[in-house]
Homo-oligomer: A and B are copies of this chain.
């Protein structure tokens, strides 16, 4: 975290808009599992989503990308707002004095955290291997969690995560997904595992192949993945022109 960001937490009201926060649901994909990036707040046992605040001259989108850059090291990730969480009691947990003691040592403005926040939910799709999970000044850990192993999170973050996943599943119906979650080259079975992980259900190998190639967003490379057991699968990459065109114009049909 930059020096200016450090100082911004001493006097946050000078740098950020009051009452507005954002939470990022960062999805990654590794070993056939959908992962989500979580941070552990100092002095609390619970984990939560990486979050932040909106600078007085930032858009919410820019603020989210800044937070993401700080937590993952990544620029230019796929990032999209999906819902606003505005229950007046959603921050009650944080207001307990005990919860804030641990972070008060670092001269951070505790009063800032006691105000009511309306939080804008963003979700991000990132390439797992490229991420360097990094805690911020108010958290003492930051790491990937298997989606299936996420238990009770702080505040309403379980709700936010659930809503993000729902949105992602809907997204799958009219937008291509994968460029942001997979390495530059990948095999058809890997792409299928990604879709299965997001949807939470098995898909037919042959029908998946037909449907996904039908979108015309894939380029088949003249290579195969070697060294694996069994038949070597073909390698693919995304045709970025057509991929972005499909992002804009939408796809047909659902899963």
Chain A 69-93, CB within 8 Å of chain B: the 1/0 string? 0000000000001011011100000
Number of interface residues of A (CB under 8 A): 24
Say how far A119's CB is from chain B's closest CB, in angstroms: 11
Contact B59 A88, beta carbon cutoff 8 Å? yes
Given A252-B254, A254-B252: A120 and B18 interface contact (C-beta under 8 Å) = no
Residue numbers in B under 8 Å from A252 (CB-CB): 254
How long is the Cα–Cα vector from A170 to B56 in the complex, in angstroms?
A: 33
Q: Which residue of B has the minimal Cβ distance to A17?
A: B19
How long is the Cα–Cα vector from A125 to B118 in the complex, in angstroms?
A: 25
Q: Which residue of B has the minimal Cβ distance to A81?
A: B84
How long is the Cα–Cα vector from A61 to B118 in the complex, in angstroms?
A: 12
Contact B86 A59, beta carbon cutoff 8 Å? yes
Interface of A is mostly: mixed
Residue numbers in B under 8 Å from A17 (CB-CB): 18-19, 116, 118
Say how far A98's CB is from chain B's closest CB, in angstroms: 24
Tell whether A57 is near chain B: CB-to-CB under 8 Å.
yes
Say how far A67's CB is from chain B's closest CB, in angstroms: 14
Contact A83 B81, beta carbon cutoff 8 Å? yes
Tell whether A142 is near chain B: CB-to-CB under 8 Å.
no
Tell whether A54 is near chain B: CB-to-CB under 8 Å.
yes
Tell whether A6 is near chain B: CB-to-CB under 8 Å.
no
Q: Which residue of B has the minimal Cβ distance to A174?
A: B170
Chain A 221-242, CB within 8 Å of chain B: the 1/0 string? 0000000000000000000000
Listed A/B pairs (23) with beta-carbon separation below 8 Å: A17-B18, A17-B19, A17-B116, A17-B118, A18-B19, A19-B19, A19-B20, A20-B20, A54-B86, A54-B118, A56-B116, A57-B88, A58-B88, A59-B86, A59-B88, A60-B86, A61-B86, A81-B83, A81-B84, A84-B84, A84-B120, A170-B174, A252-B254
> When A and B form their complex, which 5 residue pairs have the shortest distance between CB atoms, in order from nearest?
A60-B86, A17-B19, A59-B86, A57-B88, A84-B120
